[in-house]
Amino acid sequence: MKAFVYSGPAKMSLEDRPVPVISEPTDAIVKISKTTICGTDLHILKGDVSTCQPGRILGHEGVGVIESVGAAVTAFKAGDRVLISCISACGKCEYCRRQMYSHCTTGGWILGNKIDGTQAEFVRIPYADTSLYPIPEGADEEALVMLSDILPTGFECGVLNGKVQPGSTVAIVGCGPIGLAALLTAQFYSPARIIAIDLDNNRLEVARRFGATDSINSADGKAVEALMAMTDKRGVDTAIEAVGIPATFELCQKIVAPGGIIANIGVHGVKVDLHLENLWDRNITITTRLVDTVSTPMLLSTVQSRKIDPKLLITHRFKLERILDAYNTFKHAADTRALKVIIEA
């Protein structure tokens, strides 16, 4: 089968690989219909993710059809259409029992990281019963690819952890696919204002189209002043960090209102300062989280009932044979205006 393989920093290729086989009774083999590329795949290609070793097939998102299941799989059978979660969950360990699937002692984020992933014609899914979701009849598969990772991530790490409330004020710092997923799902709670912050005017325009009430281009270094002017010098109740660099976490510390929450989503590769000298008396909360994908069934219902339309995030489509073009398009988002690219296997 064709598979997209990471061969070391900045080295990647589409290769011929054997079709995976069941190795544990809890496994399923899924024939991929559609997958996509995540910002995290770009981190891997830069060599930032040490757990992902050369030779690995990348990808942790996608939808497909079950090809075969192991003897212990009871919830799925060959022929079922399924949504693949980016997080594999055994369902039995201490963390799984607490619904912290991301910290599953034998699962978590392993797909396209510690084991071969979804950017291929077939993938082996461990713990199939608790890591796959049935695709409802008539559902739009393309839209559901957004449910493998980015929608649960924006919702769980940004909106739920950030306790977005009716009438509250929210800032979303970074309007990439993850920030936009937080923007779409924040609206479940009817906040009064959602202020989108980014350096890229195209992404800010998309954010306003997706429901942001205000936007700030922070390139001039005056985002704090602009936001304070918009909020009667109060700041925001929820500051969602969706970039993963020191500058944006520091910005969140400056714009959070007394009693507010900084909900960090970004993956941080370097040290970031915490300014307790300014924050110690402000009654704030800081949260961090690796997506657990516990909200997937709920998000599926909201997509089915058209409360949100994740298809808005899809900008480009490629065949698996052209996955290198897909990576180039996704990597140069400022020029190509790419958000999520669909890859059809």
Ligand X SMILES: NC(=O)c1ccc[n+]([C@@H]2O[C@H](COP(=O)([O-])OP(=O)(O)OC[C@H]3O[C@@H](n4cnc5c(N)ncnc54)[C@H](O)[C@@H]3O)[C@@H](O)[C@H]2O)c1
> What end-to-end distance do the CA atoms of the chain give, in Å?
10
The region of 30-38, 71-79, 248-256, 335-343 touching Zn ion under the rule CB under 5 A is 30-38
- Span of 28-36, 226-234, 240-248, 297-305 interacting with ligand X by CB under 6 A: 240-248
Tokens representing 72? 């212990």
CA 126 to chain centre: 20
Sheet with 56-57, edge to edge strand ranges: 12-16, 2-6, 56-57
Part of the chain binding Zn ion (CB under 5 A), chosen from 98-106, 200-208, 251-259, 291-299: 98-106
- How far is the C-alpha of 93 from the C-alpha of 89, rounded, in Å? 9
Q: Which stretch binds Zn ion (CB under 5 A): 89-97, 233-241, 305-313, 335-343?
A: 89-97
Question: What is the Cα–Cα distance from 210 to 308, expressed in whole angstroms?
Answer: 10
93 binds Zn ion (CB under 5 A): yes
Which is closer to Zn ion, CB of 40 or CB of 169? 40
Interacting residues with ligand X between 152 and 211 (CB under 6 A): 153, 157, 173-179, 197-200, 203
Distance CA 341, CA 318 (A): 7
Of 20 and 266, nearer to ligand X (C-beta) is 266
**CA distance readout (Å), 101 to 73, 136, 209, 222, 263:** 19, 23, 33, 39, 19
Q: Does 291 bind ligand X (CB under 6 A)?
A: yes
90 touching Zn ion, by CB under 5 A: yes
Please answer whether residues 248 and 266 qualify as being in contact, where contact means their C-beta atoms are separated by less than 8 angstroms: yes
- In the complex, what is the shortest distance from the CB of residue 265 to ligand X, in angstroms, rounded to a whole number? 5
Q: Which residues bind ligand X (CB under 6 A)?
A: 39-40, 149, 153, 157, 173-179, 197-200, 203, 218, 242-245, 247-248, 265-267, 289-291
Q: Which residues bind Zn ion (CB under 5 A)?
A: 38, 40, 90, 93, 96, 104, 149
